[in-house]
Structure 1
Amino acid sequence: MQDQLMNAWNKMIGKLGEWLDAIVINLPNIIIAILVFIIVIILSRYTSKIMLKLLQKTKLQHSMKRVIAKISSMLIIALGMFLILGILNLSKALNTILAGAGVLGLAVGLALQGALSNTYSGIILSYIKTLKFGDWIKSNDYEGEVMDINLRAVTIKQADNNLVYIPNKLVLENPIVNYSTTSQSRVILDCGVGYSSDLKFVEKITREAITTNFKAVEKTGDIIFLYKEFGGSSINFELRFWIDSTSAIEVARAKSKAIVCIKQAFDNNDINIPFPIRTLDFPKNFMTPLNNQNDS
């Protein structure tokens, strides 16, 4: 038993000696490989910055510029790793890596279908010129300002400042409403007036209230006023006008301001905005049987 242990010990010492000799022999190559690795890391960072500067002159979206810069940086690192393996005389290991890359790529592709789909969708979204940072959009029942488009998700900031991260695949596969494609947004307001009101006078007062309080309407005079229906307690109408903003919060503020202006104008001209009421109509002789019963 002792002889076997000594034999194993001697073999281990011999093996360590061989490794030490190999390290000493390849020490210059190791030093060069370390220097090449450091240079590659530095070069990849500068490549990313240089690519961003060069792409600033193009019409690509900012998100796409960052994607291209990251890919160029990763390519520099990949080339550097192949160069380091060659310096260390690990060509056989390089061949093994290349041979296994196909199988590994297939396995990774199957395991990361969702992530790869979002990555591909992110690249496609970066090419869409009608979707860019600062746009106010609605997608997948979420509405807000586009803050970021990366390889995983589209980040939007809602009117209450909450951030929503929508996977790129869902954004690409579902309809997108972009409120920022024009410089204006339309405000839609519903209201009603009493049946005794002069409808032409109501329309005139409403138009004047909006025109005098909104600059965009004052310039164009573009107001749509439509009576919609005979309601249960009022004649209802719909009012539409434009404002110089594409933000949903500004649309909400404009609607609030319009309600105040219209209410004040109606009060000044004795125009009634009725609340829902129910009128009970009894027959003329409805109480007669009851009165006769009390008399008896």
Structure 2
Amino acid sequence: MRLKLEEAWEEMINNLSSWMNSLIINLPNIIIASFVFIMAVFLSKYISKLTLKLLEKSSLQKSMKNVIARLISILVIFAALFLILGILDLSKTLNTLLAGAGVAGLAIGLALQGALANTYSGIILSYIKEIRFGDWIESNDYSGEVVNIDLRAVTIKQPDNNLVYIPNKLVLENPLKNFSSTSQSKVILTCGVGYSSDLEFVRTLVKKTITETFDAVEKHGEIIFIYTEFGDSSINFETRFWVKATSSIEILKAKTEAMIAIKKAFDKNDINIPFPIRTLDFPKDFRKPNQES
């Protein structure tokens, strides 16, 4: 037993001595490798900032510029790691890492399907022109101003100043309404008038009221007025007109102003906006007593 312990101790001492000799021999390479790594970190940050500066005058979106700068920074770090492995004479280790990267990449890809889908969608969203910073959009039942697009989600600020983070995949796969794609938006307003109303006068009055209320109504955009149906209690109509608006809030404000103005005009001209009523029709002899009794 004692002999085995002495042999083990001698073997450990020999191994430590061998490692120490290898460390001393490779110490210059280790110092160079450490210097290369530190320089690569600083170089990646510098190149990232330089890339952002060069892309300032390009037509790419800010999010796409950030993605390109980040990818270039990562490539610089990876190039430095391969160089460090060569300096340390770890080419066999490099081959092993490359061989295992395929299997590891497959496993990671299966585990991170959702995250990779959002990353890919984020790159696509950063490149297309249909959505930009500052746009007022509506997507997945949320509406607000786009304040950020990264590799994970689109961040929008709602009218109540709350932030909503929508995964990029959902934004890309679902319908997207961009109110800022044009400076003009259509306001649709529905209402009803009593059956005793002069329909031609109502149509003329509504168009005149909208024209006088909104200076921003597009001159080339016709105010559309259509009677839609004979309702249970009213003759219903729909009017459509264009205003200068780039968000849903501005459209709702314009609709509110139109409703107030039309209600005032109707009151001034004794035009009734009826509410649902029910008429009971009784037989003529309803009040007569039953003769048989």
TM-score, L = length of structure 2: 0.92
Match of 2:132 in 1: 132
Match of 2:89 in 1: 89
Match of 1:173 in 2: 173
User: Contact 2:55–2:65 (CA<8 Å) still a contact in 1?
Assistant: yes
User: Contact 2:118–2:167 (CA<8 Å) still a contact in 1?
Assistant: yes
Match of 1:78 in 2: 78
Partner letter of residue 173 of structure 1? Answer: E
Match of 1:205 in 2: 205
1:10 correspondence with 2:10 = yes
SS at match of 2:164: strand
- Residue 60 to residue 126, structure 1, CA distance change in 2 (3 Å): same
User: Contact 1:211–1:221 (CA<8 Å) still a contact in 2?
Assistant: no
SS at match of 2:197: coil
CA distance in 1, matches of 2:74, 2:7: 48
Paired-residue identity, %: 67
Deviations 1:77-124 (A, max 9, x none): 000011111122222211211222222222222222222222222222
Deviations 1:37-75 (A, max 9, x none): 111001001111111111122222222111111110000
User: Contact 2:221–2:242 (CA<8 Å) still a contact in 1?
Assistant: no
Match of 1:277 in 2: 277
Partner letter of residue 100 of structure 1? Answer: G
CA distance in 2, matches of 1:49, 1:94: 30
Match of 1:53 in 2: 53
User: Contact 1:159–1:248 (CA<8 Å) still a contact in 2?
Assistant: no
- Return the offset for 1:195: 1.3
CA distance in 2, matches of 1:221, 1:155: 34
CA distance in 2, matches of 1:218, 1:283: 55
Unaligned runs of 5+ in 2: none
- Return the offset for 1:218: 6.8
Match of 2:142 in 1: 142
User: Contact 1:44–1:74 (CA<8 Å) still a contact in 2?
Assistant: yes
- Return the offset for 1:170: 2.5
Q: Work out the number of aligned pairs and report it.
A: 293
User: Contact 1:211–1:218 (CA<8 Å) still a contact in 2?
Assistant: no
How large is the RMSD of aligned CA atoms in angstroms? 2.0
Q: Is the deviation greater in 165-174 or in 58-67?
A: 165-174
1:117 correspondence with 2:117 = yes
SS at match of 2:289: helix
Q: Is the deviation greater in 5-14 or in 233-242?
A: 5-14
Q: How does 1:209-224 map to 2 (within 5 A)?
A: 209-217=209-217, 219-220=219-220, 222-224=222-224
CA distance in 1, matches of 2:113, 2:194: 61
Deviations 1:5-56 (A, max 9, x none): 3332332233222222222222222222111111100100111111111112
Detail structure 1 runs of 4+ shifted over 4 Å in the superposition.
Answer: 218-221
CA distance in 1, matches of 2:38, 2:207: 71
Q: Is the deviation greater in 112-121 or in 187-196?
A: 112-121
CA distance in 1, matches of 2:114, 2:2: 59
Partner letter of residue 190 of structure 1? Answer: T
Q: How does 1:238-249 map to 2 (within 5 A)?
A: 238-249=238-249
SS at match of 2:45: helix
Partner letter of residue 139 of structure 2? Answer: S
- Residue 98 to residue 221, structure 1, CA distance change in 2 (3 Å): closer
Q: Is the deviation greater in 94-103 or in 210-219?
A: 210-219
Partner letter of residue 260 of structure 2? Answer: V
CA distance in 2, matches of 1:265, 1:201: 12
Match of 2:231 in 1: 231
SS at match of 1:208: helix
TM-score, L = length of structure 1: 0.91
Q: Is the deviation greater in 118-127 or in 183-192?
A: 118-127
Unaligned runs of 5+ in 1: none
Q: Is the deviation greater in 105-114 or in 68-77?
A: 105-114
CA distance in 1, matches of 2:129, 2:250: 24
Partner letter of residue 135 of structure 2? Answer: D
SS at match of 2:227: strand
User: Contact 2:195–2:234 (CA<8 Å) still a contact in 1?
Assistant: yes
Match of 1:153 in 2: 153
